[in-house]
Amino acid sequence: MSIPVRFDNVSKSFKTGESATALRDLIPSLVRRLRGADPDARKLFWALRDVSFEVAEGEVLGFVGRNGAGKSTTLKLVAGILRQNKGTVEVNGSLSALIEVGAGFHPDLTGRENIFMNGAVLGLSRRDIRARFDDIVAFAELEEFIDTPVKRYSSGMYMRLGFAVAVHVDPAILLIDEVLAVGDLAFRRKCLERVKLLRAAGKTILFVSHKMNDVRAICDRVMYVKDGLIHREGTALDVTREFEADMKRRSALEITGAPLSQRTDNAAVRVMHVEARDSSGAPVTELHSGQSLIIHAAIESDIELLDPILSVALLRSDNLRACCATTRVLGPRIPRVRGACTFEVEFDDLDLMDDFYAIETIVWNAEMNVPLAQHLNPTIRFIDERPPVNRPGVFHPAARFGAIEHGPDLES
Amino acid sequence: MNRTGIAARTYDATLGVMLDLVRKLVDCRELLYSLTIKEIKVRYKQSLLGIAWAVFMPVSMMLIFTFVFRRIAKVELEPLPGTGLPPSYAVFSYVGLLPWNLFSQSLTGAVNTLVTNRGLVAKVYFPREVFPLSKIFASFVDFLVASLVLVALMVWYHVPVQTTILWVPILLGIQLSFMLGCGLMLSMANLFYRDVQYIFQVAIQLWMFATSVAYPLPAEAAGPIAGPILRLNPMTPIIDGYRDAILYGRMPDLAASWGAWIVVGLVLWIGVLAFDRSQYLFAERM
């Protein structure tokens, strides 16, 4: 049994900056070359560095990673659209790449004509297409409009037609890059089912997606690509969870690094220092869901503040304000503040979902409509070891299910 | 299919690359067919006359040429063997215009084809040669349609069909090979440097007047500098050949134009080789 796809120390670089596409740029570069200067002084960007992996026959390999990590470059190397600078790319077997849906659709041609065109582009013969034509049209749900030029299609119809052709190709190796990510929910589910069918039929599939649920549903194995390297490789669940945790950490950092925190630095009122502590008073960066959190903050004011209001909120990595404690609601009333002072606020039994949370501390005026000082740091992580659920909320409620009372059907 | 690094790849620069191209094109004949059909359909969609334009273009050119070169500037044509009379200028120019239009239309299409299909070039892999080739094939269909007018003209002017007409497929083969070489070079060059399309627009006009499309163009008459250059233009012996085979009923004197055939061979060889070697760069240099 031959290996369908093998990468052996593959590297791929791109030149950054604009490449010369006009002759007037060619001439100066030739002059530089004649003078002995490096004609391609532009910087190289390494999209992939010494990447090696193998895909077994019938395996579904997923790629996850941030934009620009090298996922699409990998697929384009497999497809032969790009060529590596170093190393060996080995591909054994017929291959079809669903890298762009509806590639080559011509607006003036009808749906029917475009199916034949696009099918040919994806490597189907006319006989194959004729045999699948009805399936394709039914899949796209476009029976009524199949003889209408696609320029009159809505963007949804256009995409459906593109998907429908794409998922009816029948190669031994299938590359899917992000194409299943668009379209309405029902149609996406349909496409996913179709990919599962192809998988069940023993196709080797390389799958790139930003939708972790799709990756988990389809892939046997997942590679987390980061800065042109394979950062981690393993089962779909492990790798996607690590990737998600990384993404959350990153966006939490981005929130705390936002200019917001510096906004009031020049003001007379300043939040000097904020620290997260556990219930014993020790500083923490991580807590388990359900534990108590104590925020300790130091503020300083050059002027005398009358009736200021303090608030401490937890901002989740996706910028959702998960909860907010404020003296306006909880008390106590603070008659006046001047110079340096500290305060503490205790959050009891914070049963938040597994995620990163940035602590936002604000000193308000008496009406709580002007923030006098604002501070967004540090970030703490809540670790939740309970099984993950599909539709998490913000926190785990203190809820109980009662016993199930069966209807009459089950009594017989 | 095994793709190794650039450094590791060795090129069989002689026959291998040609055979490789033939094999690739046989493999993707379905795609070639579909793309050709698309070209034809797209060209005549939303036009009232449709494919009739394929006839209209060379016919209108023929009428203009007839007016200019019969009424204003009198062009001397070689007399027909037997009768001693010159052939009808309409037939003479149409026999030149048909292959010339095939040539210029194909190349005009080919020069932009990789750039306008950038979506496909950057996202889907198949041999990129099919892009210029489908332009050539689509123009060939127009050429066949326009040829019907030639048949009508021959009947009208009582031009007898002679056995030398069997030379036409051979000449056509040479012309198509030359067009393939030019088409590959132009489409590739325009992808890297967009100036090529503008230079081409001027060059193809000039080229027509440097070819025996509207008038006989004996290289000897062009002088010591222009003569040898004109002699290297393959389109003149090709068009003269068609006229010999169809109009004058004699064998085209292919041997006399050996320089032009070397040009055809070089253009085809360099075109195929250069295209093959640089096509992996297309997606990133778009």
The CATH number covering residue A290 comes to 2.70.50.60
Q: How distant is the Cα of B280 from the closest Cα of chain A, in angstroms?
A: 6
Do residues A180 and A274 both lie within one domain? no
What ipTM was predicted for this assembly? 0.77
pLDDT of residue A237: 87
Do residues A218 and A270 both lie within one domain? no
Asked if the Cβ–Cβ distance from B3 to A124 is below 8 Å, we say: no
Whether residue B4 is contained in a domain is answered as: no
Do residues A75 and A124 both lie within one domain? yes
Whether residue A255 is contained in a domain is answered as: no
Mean pLDDT (whole number) for B143-162: 91
Percent of residues, chain A, with pLDDT higher than 70: 88
Whether residue B2 is contained in a domain is answered as: no
Whether residue A157 is contained in a domain is answered as: yes
A239: containing domain? 5-249
Whether residue B2 is predicted with pLDDT greater than 80 in this model: the reply is no
Q: Is A172 on the interface with B (CB under 8 A)?
A: no
Do residues A144 and A238 both lie within one domain? yes
* Domain C-terminal end among A196, A219, A249: A249
**What token pair was written down for A227?**
């800065």
pLDDT of residue A206: 92
Whether residue B68 is contained in a domain is answered as: yes
* Termini Cα distance of chain A: 56
Do residues A315 and A347 both lie within one domain? yes
Q: How distant is the Cα of B77 from the closest Cα of chain A, in angstroms?
A: 43
Q: Is A341 on the interface with B (CB under 8 A)?
A: no
Q: Between B272 and A156, name the one with better pLDDT.
A: B272
* Domain C-terminal end among A249, A282, A313: A249
Q: How distant is the Cα of B129 from the closest Cα of chain A, in angstroms?
A: 13
Whether residue B75 is contained in a domain is answered as: yes
Mean pLDDT (whole number) for A174-185: 74
- Judged on CB neighbours under 10 Å (0-12, 13-18, 19+), A1 is exposed
Question: What CATH number does the domain containing A156 carry?
Answer: 3.40.50.300
Whether residue A60 is contained in a domain is answered as: yes
For B41, which of A87, A104, A109 is closest by C-beta distance?
A109
Asked if the Cβ–Cβ distance from B194 to A21 is below 8 Å, we say: yes
Cβ(B121)–Cβ(B114) below 8 Å: yes
Whether residue A166 is predicted with pLDDT greater than 90 in this model: the reply is no
| Interatomic CA distance for residues A330 and A318, integer angstroms | 26
* Termini Cα distance of chain B: 25
| Interatomic CA distance for residues A13 and A77, integer angstroms | 12
B166-192: string of b/e by CB count within 10 Å (b at 16+)? Answer: ebbeebbebbbbbbbbbbbbbbbbbbb
Amino acid at A369: N
Whether residue B11 is contained in a domain is answered as: no
The chain B residues in contact with chain A (CB within 8 A) are 1-8, 30-31, 33-35, 37-38, 41-42, 45-46, 117, 119-120, 122-126, 192-195, 280-281, 283-285
Whether residue B47 is contained in a domain is answered as: yes
Question: Could you tell me if residue B185 is left (phi over 0), alpha (psi between -120 and 50 degrees) or otherwise beta?
Answer: alpha
Range name among A287-301, B170-184, B190-204, B213-227 with the lowest pLDDT average: B213-227
Do residues A341 and A223 both lie within one domain? no
B72: containing domain? 16-285
Do residues A100 and A180 both lie within one domain? yes
Whether residue A34 is predicted with pLDDT greater than 70 in this model: the reply is no
Per-chain mean pLDDT for chain A: 83
Number of domains in chain A: 2
Do residues A202 and A338 both lie within one domain? no
pLDDT of residue A120: 86
Whether residue A72 is contained in a domain is answered as: yes
Do residues A225 and A340 both lie within one domain? no
The per-residue pLDDT for range A316-329, each reduced to its tens digit, is 887 788 899 999 88
Whether residue A183 is predicted with pLDDT greater than 70 in this model: the reply is no
Whether residue B5 is contained in a domain is answered as: no
Q: Is A103 on the interface with B (CB under 8 A)?
A: yes
Contacts of A50 (CB under 8 A, 6+ apart): A9, A10, A11, A86, A87, A229
Contacts of B107 (CB under 8 A, 6+ apart): B179, B182, B183, B186, B200, B204
Q: How distant is the Cα of A205 from the closest Cα of chain B, in angstroms?
A: 16
Whether residue A258 is predicted with pLDDT greater than 70 in this model: the reply is no
Do residues A224 and A292 both lie within one domain? no
* Domain C-terminal end among A222, A249, A276: A249
- DSSP secondary structure, B256-281, as one string: GGHHHHHHHHHHHHHHHHHHHHHGGG
For residue A90, which residues of chain B lie inside 8 Å, CB to CB?
A: 1-3
Asked if the Cβ–Cβ distance from A22 to B280 is below 8 Å, we say: no
Amino acid at A32: R
DSSP 8-state secondary structure symbol assigned to residue B193: -
Q: Is A125 on the interface with B (CB under 8 A)?
A: yes
Number of domains in chain B: 1
| Interatomic CA distance for residues B215 and B237, integer angstroms | 13
Asked if the Cβ–Cβ distance from A121 to B31 is below 8 Å, we say: yes
Whether residue A397 is contained in a domain is answered as: no
Q: Which helix (H) or strand (E) holds A363?
A: strand A355-364
Whether residue B6 is predicted with pLDDT greater than 50 in this model: the reply is no
For residue A126, which residues of chain B lie inside 8 Å, CB to CB?
A: 30, 33-34
Do residues A150 and A40 both lie within one domain? yes
Asked if the Cβ–Cβ distance from B125 to A80 is below 8 Å, we say: yes
Q: Is A175 on the interface with B (CB under 8 A)?
A: no
Whether residue A264 is predicted with pLDDT greater than 60 in this model: the reply is no
For residue B3, which residues of chain A lie inside 8 Å, CB to CB?
A: 80, 83-84, 88-91
pLDDT of residue A254: 63
Whether residue B53 is contained in a domain is answered as: yes
Do residues A288 and A174 both lie within one domain? no
Mean pLDDT (whole number) for B279-284: 83
DSSP 8-state secondary structure symbol assigned to residue B248: I
